[in-house]
Amino acid sequence: MDAEKRKRYENIAAELTRLAGGRNNILGIAHCATRLRLVLEDNDKADIHAIEDVDLVKGVFVAGDQLQIIFGAGLVNDVCQVLADSLHMDSMSLGDLKTKANKRMNPVQRAVKALSDVFIEIMPGILAAALLTGLSSVLGNIDFVQNNDTLYGLSRLINISSGAIFGFLPLCVAYSTVKRFGGRPIMGIVIGCIMLTNSLADASAAAQGTVEVTTLHIFGLPVDLIGFQGGIIVALLIGIVTAKLDIFFEKKVPEVIRLLVSPLLTTLVSSFLLFMVIGPVGRGLANGITAVLVWMTQHLGVIGYAAFSGVQQLIVITGLHHVFGAIESQLLVDTGRNFLNPLMSVAIIAQGGAVLGYLAGNLKNARAKELCIPSFISVLFGITEPALFGVNLRYRYPIIGGCIGGAIGGAVVYFTDLAALGFGTTVVPGIALADPAHNGYINYIIAHIIALAAGFLFAFLLGIGFDRKKVAAAPEGERQTEQKPAAPENGIGQQADPGPEKTDGRGEMPEEISAFTSGEFIGIEKVKDPTFAQKVLGDGVAIVPSEGRIYAPCDAAVEMVMDTKHAVGLRTSAGNGLLIHVGIDTVNLEGKYFDVHVSEGQSLKKGDLILDFDREKIAAEGYDTSACLIFTELAEGTHVDREPERTVKAGEKIAVITK
């Protein structure tokens, strides 16, 4: 590194240190192929918008409790080293950086982060179930649909589909939890099947006393054979236990019998703990909370109503909200009026208001719109799981705003003496159940509008205080980056990058780029990573691979090999900079399933093998295996012409760099 370049990087490092909150706010430094990653003591002290304007910075975002600053391949290595030197701090591995980030969080933050990680994996299924449930509810109230055989049949199939997804939600949670905590995902599916087997009494029926429950006695302890339908917290807890047991037995059981004995022991011990410890404790805790909330509504007047509707949606997280059905039934038998239904309804719509409050503070974030809009639609039909798990819990402050809005709505329910004449539906469909006495229909609408507005307002205001940087702190793979204003361009949307020194083009033009693996050739815009898709690092192409090998796309020299083996930087014979990046977020694998066959400084001929990767195992870990080729630095006056998208074999022409 020459003196002029180092001086420039030192200035960048000084600016980053100042804007990140000072030397004492930086706990750890690392980098991947394109991004500088910082763990900060307090993210709120970092001025993200100002960092975007720092020399050579292409984008900034917060993800996975790391401040990630995009510089580009090659350049990020030098900037990271200069920054580490200026802080007298060693550059960390990505694994060590994650450990440092986790240590920075308190136990509550770690628990919420883990909860978010678990549910983001299964959000598409939850959203599908919620919207199908809403559609089923609407169709079920239309006489024409009910009287037409075909439409009735379609309505029933929709109802069955939505019910099935929610019915097996604990299985999905157990699967995602085991995966999140390092166990084999199939073991999560196994324990999830045990939780929901039809050999156990249905949990909802057992709560209402409509089914006989068998009780076993093991070591003198009673064990009720009741299923765990809706048992989200139980599924989370047993998923963690199963993951830890799976890891333990995989290490301790001798290899010669591991395949047979390890899964047997994991399943057996997990099952015993499920029925004898985790299940009863989880149920007992949630039932106790539920009983306290109901007592409050009956004895504490407006305070009890507000408290119930303020925290009722937290009971939904435990999955034991089905208990309210039995209580509502008893209320209707005893009094003919059900005051719990409108309380739950305003609690639901308040969480929807919180979703909109979060969205209002993040209108520039396309990922926020993608999550918030369908989540809010499902809330209108009384389904809050997408809103709770996809948005409000994930970003923390919206759940607080929603609970405050619910409490305010509960007070309105108390003062207007609002009640229902049935149970089972809420929010928009729930108006049909409202007791018309005392202007019940009008009061129902007023209570919901007030709860919605309060949830929106408090979530929005809390967002200004807690998330004023207006960046969605999404898990890796689910983030949205903001780009800097466009810089002078080279070629197709390629921002000039004064990183490694440019050449004037030493080879023949045009320069042909061939397929670097076999598979489906697509434009970089279709890759499921905003940094690549939005061309923050430059234009490019991608191939969804059908094999596990990456070849040189042209004659080139190797300029950079990531220690995580998933990315390689090349310099072509014509002086163009290329980055080959295999998979999305595969940096998290830390080299597992990758085998690199080249080293820095090595000269390659077109078609030379660069690396091997186990495509199936990477996909089984939940990673997108799309392989990207980014034109990080084009020679002066050149641009890229792509070939049409199609299925290609390694070595076929896919692009040409030409003047």
Secondary structure (DSSP) of 309-358: HHHHHHHHHHT-TTHHHHHHHHHHHHHS-BSHHHHHHHHHHHHHHHHHHH
Buried b (16+ CB within 10 A) or exposed e, 570-580: bbbbbbbbbbb
Contact (CB, 8 A) for 568 and 556:
no
**Locate tokens 């030379």: which residue?**
608
**Facing residues of 550 across strands?**
611
Q: Could you give the C-alpha distances from 248 to 14, 60, 86, 175, 241, in angstroms and in order?
A: 45, 39, 42, 18, 10
In the chain, how many H helices and how many E strands?
24, 23
Return d(Cα 128, Cα 43) in angstroms, integer.
34
Q: Assess contact for 305 and 250: CB atoms under 8 A.
A: no
Catalytic choice (32, 372, 403, 628): 32
Given the structure tokens 């007023």, which residue do they identify? 446
Calculate ∠ Cα 327-331-335, nearest 5°: 175
Q: Which amino acid is at 525?
A: E
**Is 80 among the catalytic positions?**
no
Among 35, 76, 96, which Cα is nearest to 500's? 76
What is the rounded distance in angstroms from the CA atom of residue 397 to the CA atom of residue 596? 44
Dihedral (CA of 573, 578, 579, 583) sign: negative
Q: How many residues does the chain have?
A: 659
Catalytic residues: 32
